[in-house]
Amino acid sequence: VSHQRTDWISIHGHICQLLLPVLGPQPCFHSERDRKRGKEQMLRRQESLIAVALSTAQGFVWSGKPLEAIPAALQALRFSSRVFGSGSVQLVPIYLLLAEASTGTGRLRQAAKYLSQARWIVLQTPDCSAALQSKLHRGLGLFSIAEGNLDQALYHLANDVYLATAEFGLNSVEVSGGYFHMANIFFRQNKMDAANSLYTEV
């Protein structure tokens, strides 16, 4: 019952009306033109579902409710796999979000699986953007912090900063997140000069 309640609060209350036309019986089309139009309409509905589920999950993570984020992110993953395919780069941000939410609930083994899936897709995509690779390294860095492996975290966060700089430029706001997390690590290690320098950069 508690799982059902969490699921309803997290996502089903938001997407119930959107699910009916996607999962319900589909109309029978008599012409190729109608079939094509029906397919396009179905694709738009599924993309709307993905957008709602993903933004809902992200909102829960940002507001410090990782448990509530997981059902919403799983819905986004389910429909993204259906629309884009299970090996598509469009799934990487969802896997990273699931990893962050799982880490937030203390499920580190599950988080590691999601990160592994995201990393595998990125490795299988030769033309993967630097922006997406940057997000992957940030996710791996935050996971390493949760595990207590600060040296590994610094490695991934440095890669995050490098890739974000390559994609967005040296003084872009996208770079600041990597600097901020690195500064927090140096602060924990009592390396105040490095920490203050990075906080100033942020």
Q: Which fold has domain 129-201?
A: 1.25.40
More confident residue, 21 or 144: 144
Q: What percent of the chain has pLDDT over 90?
A: 64
Give residue 49's pLDDT: 82
Q: Let me know: does 21 contact 45? Beta carbons within 8 Å.
A: yes
What does the pLDDT look like over 14-70, one tens digit per residue? 555 555 555 555 556 667 776 677 667 667 877 888 888 898 899 999 999 999 899
Give residue 33's pLDDT: 75
Compute how many other C-beta atoms are within 10 angstroms of the C-beta atom of residue 66: 21
107 pLDDT exceeds 90? Answer: yes
Give residue 23's pLDDT: 54
Domain borders along the chain are 129-201
- The amino acid that residue 76 corresponds to is A
Give residue 198's pLDDT: 95
